Amino acid sequence: MTTNPPLASLPAVAAAAAPEGLSTCALQQLDSAHYLHPFTDHAALRERGARVIVRGDGVYLWDSEGNKIIDGMAGLWCVNAGYGRTSIADAVHAQMSTLPFYNSFFNTTNVPAVQLAALLAAVSPPQFQHVFYTSSGSEANDTIVRMVRRYWQLAGRPEREVIISRRNAYHGSTMAGASLGGMAGMHAQGSLPIPGIVHIGQPHYAEGGRGMSEAEFGLEAAGWLEAKILEVGPDKVAAFIGEPVQGAGGVIIPPSTYWPEIQRICDKYDILLVSDEVICGFGRLGTWFGCELMGFRPDLIAFAKGVTSGYVPLGGVLVGGRVAHTLIDKGGDFNHGFTYSGHPSACAAALENIRILQTELLVERVALETGPHLKACFAALVAHPLVGHAETCGLAGGLNLVRRKGASVHDCEAFASTHAVGMLCRKHMFDNGVIMRAVGDRMIVAPPLSMTVAQIDEMVERIGYCLDLTLAEVQARGWME
Ligand SMILES: *Cc1c(COP(=O)(O)O)cnc(C)c1O
């Protein structure tokens, strides 16, 4: 006999026999009883109960209570083509019916993995002719740590092991991904970073650029890389990694001078340059890859999320000629890979997703139509008493909720962090049918690239309404200046 409660005595579990009939409350009970969520305070979640999302179509989601919600975050930065794409479902169904899975170890390959590799070579910058597949962005970044160190071994410089990353960067949740990331809260849980990974400051003008123009600050922040290289010793540094625009860190858009200067420094010290494009790739910024907009030529690109619009998990590393040729010509076995590397069903989803991005000109629309429209809408939101400043890049944007507005981004006064005004605002948003994410008191969006101009207007109108509700609440609590 086990000591578990008899299953039938739990009403929620009894209902599980007929999942289609589960009430929201029953689902929440089961969720709380059995499901450990990512990045979640479970004691707090139990109090509230999880929101149950049951359906998506286009840029809209529906929860189990029938509420229609406009998804300003494209799931988790990934549903670039929008929800409800039956052609992706059909492509995956057809592939699963033919060959759901086979591995790419032991000199075998499969049709979708080959086709996708060629398509990725076609849509990415010209130095990329090879891809290594994973199932997530974290695994892509773990692969990169191993690959750059392997590269330097093969190049006869095995002492080049150190990878330089940035604070407030997000590169995933595995040991190497979390180490590359610059999130103090993640490092604190589990003795991270792992050895050989060091961090410099982020190119965050509002945070660090007081007294400088944006252009000056971009050069200054890139200079931190050179200082770190000299501190570590140039002969020990393997690579620098960064997101073209930091996503989870709060849609931090670097000054235009930053990345070209990073490129110059990497060239000067012969260091590999890695672009984590898990968010910026596949059109988010109005170019296929963020490095194209920011003006740099990475040696390696990490991708995931938007490659399949999240319909099926897939990630990978685009490997530029410099690394690929060394691995191929001198490498022998690279002792690294995953059961699901080149998963045929995931690759089939990616092929159809990229076809949609291409045929509907979604990337071009972000550059020419929807991105500029979002920029204008966010600029207008700065008139709101609660909004200190707002920035966008392509279909990603952020606005800062402030206690007192200032003449420049450096003169705004923030709320006490204990007031958690961002989370309060986020709750008003969710309760009123629009999803934004809160990073501290910075509210961010990254909607599906299929969002139309009219839908952007609808989203921004709801955002404005929820900013009003948030303002009323912080005023009532006496938190406003
Ligand atoms: C989401 C993300 C990752 C991690 O991807 P997972 O698929 O969650 O492992 C890595 N880098 C960036 C920039 C991301 O946004």
CA of residue 475 relative to chain centroid, distance: 33
Tell me the average pLDDT across 374-386: 98
Q: Provide the residue type at 104 as one letter.
A: S
Model confidence at 465: pLDDT above 70: yes
| Residue ID of nearest Cα to ligand 1 atom 6 | 137
Q: Is the CB of 132 under 6 A from ligand 1?
A: no
Q: Do 7-84+361-476 and 86-359 come out as alike in CATH topology?
A: no
- Reported confidence tier of residue 20, pLDDT bands at 50, 70, 90: low
Residue 4 CB contacts under 8 Å (≥ 6 apart), including other chains: none
pLDDT of residue 331: 82
Whether 241 contacts 199, CB under 8 Å: no
More confident site: 3 or 424: 424
What integer best gives the mean pLDDT of the chain? 95
Model confidence at 17: pLDDT above 50: no
Give 215-235 pLDDT, tens digit per residue.
999 999 999 999 999 999 999
Tell me the average pLDDT across 141-161: 98
- Reported confidence tier of residue 1, pLDDT bands at 50, 70, 90: very low
Tell me the average pLDDT across 245-273: 98
Superfamily of chain region 7-84+361-476: Aspartate Aminotransferase, domain 1 (3.90.1150.10)
Model confidence at 467: pLDDT above 80: yes
pTM of the model: 0.95
| Residue ID of nearest Cα to ligand 1 atom 11 | 171
- Reported confidence tier of residue 332, pLDDT bands at 50, 70, 90: confident
Q: Is the CB of 142 under 6 A from ligand 1?
A: no
Tell me the average pLDDT across 314-338: 95
- Reported confidence tier of residue 13, pLDDT bands at 50, 70, 90: very low
Residue 370 CB contacts under 8 Å (≥ 6 apart), including other chains: 395, 449, 451, 452, 453, 456
Q: Is the CB of 243 under 6 A from ligand 1?
A: yes
Model confidence at 5: pLDDT above 90: no
Q: Is the CB of 275 under 6 A from ligand 1?
A: no
Q: Is the CB of 172 under 6 A from ligand 1?
A: yes
Model confidence at 21: pLDDT above 90: no
Nearest atom in ligand 1 to 279's CA: 15
Query: Terminal CA-to-CA distance of the chain, rounded, Å?
Result: 62
**Domain boundaries along the sequence of the chain:** 7-84+361-476, 86-359
pLDDT of residue 4: 47
Instruction: Work out the percent of the chain whose per-residue pLDDT is above 70.
Output: 96
Model confidence at 7: pLDDT above 50: no
pLDDT of residue 12: 43
Q: Which fold has domain 86-359?
A: Aspartate Aminotransferase; domain 2 (3.40.640)
Tell me the average pLDDT across 304-320: 98
Q: Is the CB of 250 under 6 A from ligand 1?
A: no
Q: Is the CB of 303 under 6 A from ligand 1?
A: no
Nearest atom in ligand 1 to 174's CA: 9
pLDDT of residue 19: 53
Model confidence at 11: pLDDT above 70: no
